[in-house]
Amino acid sequence: MSMEDALNKWLGKTYESSRFHSRVLPPALFTLIGGKGIIADRIAEVIGDVPGNLIDPFLGTGSVPLVIWQNNKIGGRIIAQEASSAIVNAYNVARDNGDTLMGEIRSIYSKYAPIDRDIARDKLAPMYNAGIDDPVKSAAMFIVLSRCAFNSHLQMNKEGKITGGFQSITPRRIFTGELSQSLHDRWLRAVRIIQESKLMVQKATHDSWVDMVRGAGPCDVIYLDPPYEGRGQFKYPGEAEVGVWTEEDTRELIDEALMASRRGVKIVMSNSPQMEKALSDRGFSTSVFTTYGGPNAPPNEVIGVLDKEFRATCVVGKKQEE
Ligand SMILES: C[S@@+](CC[C@H](N)C(=O)[O-])C[C@H]1O[C@@H](n2cnc3c(N)ncnc32)[C@H](O)[C@@H]1O
């Protein structure tokens, strides 16, 4: 099928724009390329009630589980892992030292704001890369630097050092380099939810998602948002540490998801529209849509849901008696 035909097929299907679906940005400590911030509430609706645990092996910004927790929809815990050490540290610091973390963030802004591209690149990133011994200070600096990334794409290498990706202030009205009240409140909301949910984020290895998926029981929900497939090119900070995600990895992930589904686990997977056929061929119900750029922009997101056994064994809000 030609690219154009494929596009028309998508457009003819469940195409809709979800731009501005969310008026208030969801709680999250940072943005990330491939992050689901802008559509987190939409994915939360698709996931629905989680009678057991919500399992998210590719946590990233965590905006989806944080929104679901905020909506009071999780009966059990959030179980998560992430490949990027910087992200894992930020979550664990937020949970254990949230107020100190917010204080550190405020003090970085009061010292350096407006934090434009030059200050981020030439002053703060070198400080971060030199190694900050205190995990709280390191997390605060990582969160501030992520905020300065162009297209949410802070580039990092295998050693967890920042190698580039900063945006310039001039053409963008939204990014002022200041700590606005709304940005501060968004981070604080994320910290409070992470504390309240006692969110534990494990450091992932390339294949550790397998054990997480296998560990899911009936009435748990697994949200899968793996990296887009790449050949030798790192798209996410975490990939530099655990290796690039491949087509083979996606195939294995879908196989494991199918096995979990047979045990009564609900699976929700988001990915690029190229995945639609692979998902619907394996029994997922799918919808394809665009997340930015208005009604004429090409679709860039697919959501696949596998929940037959789940609905058979779980009632809303709790597990059925065995
Ligand atoms: C598409 S993003 C997830 C975005 C997330 N759902 C959000 O809303 O921000 C994929 C994430 O998986 C991480 N990652 C990459 N390879 C991984 C692996 N093998 N195991 C676990 N996480 C991995 C990346 O660092 C990235 O944060």
Domain match, 192 and 91 both: yes
The finding on whether 83 has its CB within 6 A of some atom of ligand 1 is yes
Using the 3D structure, point to which of 140, 167, 197 is the last residue of a domain: 197
What is the domain count for the chain?
A: 2
User: Mean pLDDT across the chain, nearest whole number?
Assistant: 87
The finding on whether 60 has its CB within 6 A of some atom of ligand 1 is yes
Using the 3D structure, point to which of 175, 197, 219 is the last residue of a domain: 197
**CATH label of the domain that carries residue 247:** 3.40.50.150
pTM equals 0.89
Using the 3D structure, point to which of 139, 162, 197 is the last residue of a domain: 197
Q: What is the DSSP string of 13-25?
A: TT--B-TTS-SSP
Task: State the distance from the centre of ligand 1 to the C-alpha of 56, rounded, in angstroms.
Answer: 9
Residue 13 reports pLDDT greater than 80: no
The finding on whether 209 has its CB within 6 A of some atom of ligand 1 is yes
The finding on whether 26 has its CB within 6 A of some atom of ligand 1 is no
What atom in ligand 1 is closest to the CA of residue 242?
19
**CATH label of the domain that carries residue 99:** 1.10.1020.10
Domain match, 99 and 4 both: no
Largest CA distance in the chain: 61
In percent, the amount of the chain with pLDDT more than 90 equals 66
Q: What are phi and psi of 224, to 5 degrees?
A: -110, 115
Alpha-carbon distance 293 to 298, whole Å?
Answer: 8
Task: State the distance from the centre of ligand 1 to the C-alpha of 126, rounded, in angstroms.
Answer: 25
- Predicted confidence (pLDDT) per residue in 208-247, tens digit: 999 999 999 989 999 999 998 887 677 788 998 999 999 9
The finding on whether 234 has its CB within 6 A of some atom of ligand 1 is no
Residue 168 reports pLDDT greater than 70: yes
CA dihedral 261, 267, 272, 278 (to 10 degrees): 20
Domain match, 210 and 315 both: yes
Domain carrying residue 43: 1-83+204-322
